[in-house]
Chain A
């Protein structure tokens, strides 16, 4: 029984069957990669997991509870954090403020009015945010405005913000898309480090095989909206079906 159980999920957009009978099980404390060629339905599947889309049929269970019909912020509160393809951070705020927000959210839930308190005097919050910045190797950028940072730094901050919530499941949507080689390697190292140091389950959608095979414990291959195979990385490499559907042109 995995922490995330997707059963029989279907999603149609007009005449297009984006997802057809998807079954997926992500086991706790593993890195599970979902790969597939363009248009395989990876993003649709991800959007169904975080509440942005609602599947036509099927069930998505997280930690024993259904996520279907819940708002994105409620699903997040259940313990799923999402890293976006293009880093989504608070561009007008400083790095420190960016880091404080998820910690407030973790402590207070979806909404609480601290209308007259001084945020910098919230002792536990400031400390936690500073610790997270150190963990992310960003302590020197504490008071910087995020708009002027490099893409790699933005990605690092976004991952840090997600971890600051101490999620049970971290969803990564092509975390290295559009990155230079050096930034990609940094991100891989960061994710490896996270995997080793924290009790966390990671689901990653990725295009870059280098990233997938350096991180994943388990791989699901999607093709035309249906899972083709689910197996360990070494078996995936040799699977002829996968070669045909996806690796065919790259391997």
Chain B
């Protein structure tokens, strides 16, 4: 279907069904129950899942296929956000032009940065991209303040000269983002017994775009272009002596993944129309690297899994506090309870980054293939040893 083989079609369908039914799947616990805090089915978080999914899918096209490790991808995300907000300020509150502009601008940005950075490879490339991103971040904070509004971040105001549309609504508030009139924040709530399911317009727009982005990524992975990118990672020398110039291929991959990042940034601004320089910081670039590695670089589904995993646990961990811990471990004797709470305390709440760092190290050390490889290992265990040996030689490099 759609030019995909059977396996890929199944994968795409599974992802499609999961994203479309996410408001149900992510809300398995009834409202008000003790486990409700583990629910993730509310619009803001679900939007983050798919937006960061797009970001990671794009990053994986560069890193997973060509092996070029960019440490500055957040710059494109930031540029995308700024462009989208400017489109809201100047043109219209419709998200389509904003998203298109954010992709174009981040694409142009990627052409310039990629052209320079890709002249070097390996560690030099990583440092160059990191330097470019830090430079953009510094500029956004200081001299570009007229465009970026510096530390405060770029926001909509009541006197934006919006060409198509009004500066302020009749009741004097700032208009909201919409898709041809369908407000992004509008949410349909469905109560089923004790459960509350929320269907948010913005989430479904993001989900649809993510599915499109995912589909495109599958096509790229399976295309001759994707094969060339894997060839770049494998042996550039042979590539050159086969009459192929690796640089346009890597540049194309860089620009495509930059545009994915810009798209993610544009969507982020479409859901909540503001943009700040902190989105461009190296920590943000590091985060997308984390997502991709954690899920499994070079695999199709890995980055999406990684993005969901990190954003979900970020949300959960940030919510847990000592009281919650005490209630969990209350079955233990008092002394032991306090002891365990003290041990766990640094990893929760504001300590989420610590957990993330440790998790990241563990994955790089023990599971370089990420969650996907972990899943395959477990599957192999279940299938028994005999199949394990045959599947080892036949594993597709990109699935």
Which residues of chain B in 200-232 are interfacial with respect to chain A, using CB atoms and an 8 Å cutoff?
216, 219-220, 222-228, 230-231
CA distance A172 to B231 in the complex (A): 22
**Pairwise interchain contact B223-A101, C-beta atoms closer than 8 A:** no
- Whether B240 is near chain A, meaning CB under 8 Å from some CB there, is yes
Question: Are A90 and B235 interface neighbours, CB within 8 A?
Answer: yes
State which of A105, A113, A115, A120 has its C-beta within 8 Å of the C-beta of B242.
Answer: A105
* Closest residue on chain B to residue A78 by CB atoms: B243
Are A114 and B231 closer than 8 Å at their CB atoms? no
Separation of A33 and B220 alpha carbons in the complex (Å):
44
Instruction: Please name the residue on chain A nearest to B4 by beta carbon.
Output: A118
Q: Measured between alpha carbons, how far is A114 from B252 in the docked complex, in Å?
A: 11
Does A56 reach chain B (CB closer than 8 Å)? no
Whether B33 sits at the interface, judged by CB under 8 Å, is: no
A122 contacts across to B, CB distance below 8 A:
224
Closest partner residue, chain B, to A97 (CB atom): B227
Q: Which residues of B contact A105 (CB under 8 A)?
A: 242-244
B70-103 interface bits toward A, Cβ cutoff 8 Å, 1 = contact, 0 = none? 0000000000000000000000000000000000
Q: Closest Cβ of chain B: how far from A197's Cβ, in Å?
A: 22
Q: How far is the CB of B376 from chain A (nearest CB, A)?
A: 16
B120 close to A (CB within 8 Å) = no
On whether the beta carbons of A76 and B230 are closer than 8 Å, the reply is no
- Within 8 Å of chain A (Cβ to Cβ): is B390? no
**Interface SS, B side:** helix
B242 touches A165 (CB 8 A): yes
Question: B224: which of A77, A81, A82, A114 is its contact (CB, 8 Å)?
Answer: A114
Min C-beta distance of B276 to chain A, whole Å:
33
Centre residue among A117, A121, A165 by max chain B CB count within 10 A:
A117
Closest A residue to B222 by beta carbon equals A118
Whether B248 and A111, one on each chain, are in contact in the complex, defined by CB atoms closer than 8 angstroms, is yes
- The number of chain A residues touching the other chain, given as a range, is 35 or more
Instruction: With both chains docked as a complex, state the minimum distance between the C-beta of B392 and any C-beta of chain A, in angstroms.
Output: 10
CB of B234 closer than 8 Å to a CB of A: yes
Residues A114 and B225 in contact in the complex (CB < 8 Å), given A77-B243, A92-B397: yes
B248 to A110, Cβ gap below 8 A? yes
Count of interface residues, chain B, beta-carbon cutoff 8 Å: 34
CB contacts (< 8 Å) of B366 on chain A: these are none
Q: How far is the CA of A201 from the CA of B289 in the complex (A)?
A: 49
Q: In the complex, which residues of chain B have a beta carbon less than 8 angstroms from the beta carbon of A84? A: 237, 241
Cα-based distance from A97 to B234 in the complex (angstroms): 12
Determine the distance from Cα of A84 to Cα of B394 in the docked complex, in whole angstroms.
Answer: 27
Let me know if A199 is at the binding interface, CB within 8 A: no
Other-chain residue from B4, B225, B238, B397 in contact with A89 (beta carbon distance below 8 A):
B238
Whether B224 pairs with A72 at a CB distance below 8 angstroms is: no
Interface 1/0 per residue, A153-191 and B, CB below 8 Å: 000000001000100000000000000000000000000
Q: Are A114 and B249 in contact (CB under 8 A)?
A: no
Q: Does A148 contact B (CB under 8 A)?
A: yes
Contact of A148 among B225, B239, B249, B393 (CB under 8 A): B393
Q: Is B233 an interface residue (CB 8 A)?
A: yes
Residues of A within 8 Å of B4, CB to CB, are 118
**A72 and B222 in contact, given A110-B245, A144-B393 (Cβ under 8 angstroms):** no
- Is A72 a contact partner of B234 (Cβ separation < 8 A)? no
A136-158 contacts to B, CB under 8 A, are 143-145, 148
Is the C-beta of B32 less than 8 angstroms from some C-beta in chain A? no
Contact B234 A93 (CB under 8 A): yes
Would you call A39 an interface residue if the criterion is a C-beta within 8 Å of the partner chain's C-beta atoms?
no
Across the interface, which residues of A come within 8 angstroms of B227, CB to CB? 93, 97, 100-101, 104, 119
- CB distance A116 to B244 under 8 Å? no
- Is the pair A119, B223 in contact by a Cβ cutoff of 8 Å? yes
Question: Is A76 in contact with B235, judged by CB distance below 8 angstroms?
Answer: no
CB-contact partner of B234 in A76, A91, A117, A161, under 8 A: A91
Determine how close the nearest CB of chain A comes to the CB of B62; give it in whole angstroms.
13
A111 nearest in chain B by CB position: B248
- Give the CA-CA distance A54 to B60 in the complex, in Å: 37
Structural contact, B233 and A76, CB atoms closer than 8 A: no
Tell me, in angstroms, the Cα distance from A12 to B235 when the chains sit together.
29
| Per-position 1/0 for A56-95, Cβ under 8 A of B | 0000000000000001110011000110100011111100
Cβ of A240 within 8 Å of any chain B Cβ, yes or no, is: no
Instruction: Choose among B233, B237, B241 the residue with the greatest number of A CB atoms under 10 Å from its CB.
Output: B241
List 3 tightest A-B contacts by C-beta distance, closest first: A76-B243, A111-B248, A114-B224
29 contacts between A and B (CB under 8 A): A50-B241, A71-B245, A73-B239, A77-B243, A88-B235, A88-B241, A89-B235, A90-B231, A91-B235, A92-B230, A92-B233, A92-B234, A97-B230, A101-B231, A105-B243, A105-B244, A109-B243, A113-B225, A113-B252, A114-B223, A114-B224, A114-B225, A115-B220, A116-B220, A116-B223, A117-B224, A118-B223, A120-B5, A161-B242
Besides A71-B240, A84-B237, 8 other A-B contacts (C-beta < 8 A) = A72-B241, A81-B241, A89-B235, A110-B248, A111-B244, A116-B223, A118-B219, A161-B238
